[in-house]
Amino acid sequence: MIEMKDVWKTYPNGVMAINGIDVSISKGEFVYVVGPSGAGKSTFIKLMYREEKPTKGTVVVNGYNLGQIKEKRIPIMRRTLGIVFQDFKLLPTLSVYENIAFALEVIEESPSSIKRSVMNVLDIVKLKNKARFLPHELSGGEQQRVAIARAIVNNPAVLIADEPTGNLDPDTSWGIMKTLEEINNRGTTIVMATHNKEIVNTIRKRVIAIESGRIARDEAKGGYGYER
Ligand SMILES: Nc1ncnc2c1ncn2[C@@H]1O[C@H](COP(=O)(O)OP(=O)(O)OP(=O)(O)O)[C@@H](O)[C@H]1O
């Protein structure tokens, strides 16, 4: 599913963000990526969806070799992934329904199949009753659930989340985790970068800790391991 072999990433300004990572993430896993600020977590994750290209080494995601892939094939590769960010990145003038349908329309689905898919993911994130709302009419947690619905509407094999609870209060964050666990239980692999110590220490999953661009720890049901 996700394979990295001897991966290095140096940014054009000379910052060495990832320094020789080997890792393998299998289908159906739920993985937290933790580590101090500036350790390289976001870079590690960006290498998985080809937002960044490895300087050296091999990154294979869902069968695509991301160091070699041609620019024009990147959108095709990204359809096998769902991506969720800390700031939800919803389109402010589109309704909840339209924000999610938008992700499908680009691959030319029929109207009835779009409706079925959108309502199905709204059901998963428990927002069927808010389909016609605009993003600003929703709470932060609801907006993040819309962003998650949009990310999974194409049935991606892997859902990548970079600090999905970063902008949310603790109660709302637990709700987002419930949603992510449910999606994981349906078979989707989840890779989630987080600073949320309470979540990592309570909902135990595989923990990959990055420090100075290297894997410092990789534990099946690890703890957060940092003060914050
Ligand atoms: N586009 C970029 N150009 C140059 N350097 C970058 C770029 N993005 C990140 N870096 C540097 O790479 C290193 C790792 O950054 P990264 O964002 O991956 O860390 P992080 O662990 O996600 O941090 P945080 O927890 O604070 O979000 C840092 O030193 C950062 O300054």
What are the tens digits of pLDDT across the range 20-73?
999 999 999 999 999 999 999 999 999 999 999 999 999 999 999 999 999 999
Q: Which two tokens stand for residue 97?
A: 């329904």
Residue 44 alpha carbon, nearest atom of ligand 1: 18
CATH topology of domain 2-219: Rossmann fold (3.40.50)
- Rounded Cα–Cα distance for residues 108 and 193 (Å): 32
Q: Which residues line ligand 1 (CB under 6 A)?
A: 11, 13, 15, 17, 35, 37-43
**Residue 217, helix vs strand vs coil:** strand
Q: Are 62 and 157 in contact (CB under 8 A)?
A: yes
Q: For residue 88, is pLDDT > 90?
A: no
Q: For residue 108, is pLDDT > 80?
A: no
Q: Identify the DSSP state of 71.
A: G
Q: Are 34 and 228 in contact (CB under 8 A)?
A: no
Per-residue pLDDT band at 104 (split at 50, 70, 90): confident
ipTM over 0.90: yes
Tell me the CA–centroid distance for residue 9 and ligand 1, in Å. 11
For ligand 1, atom 3, which residue shows the shortest CA distance? 11
Tell me the CA–centroid distance for residue 35 and ligand 1, in Å. 12
- Rounded Cα–Cα distance for residues 127 and 140 (Å): 13
Tell me the CA–centroid distance for residue 116 and ligand 1, in Å. 39
* Amino acid 107: pLDDT: 62
Domain boundaries, the chain: 2-219
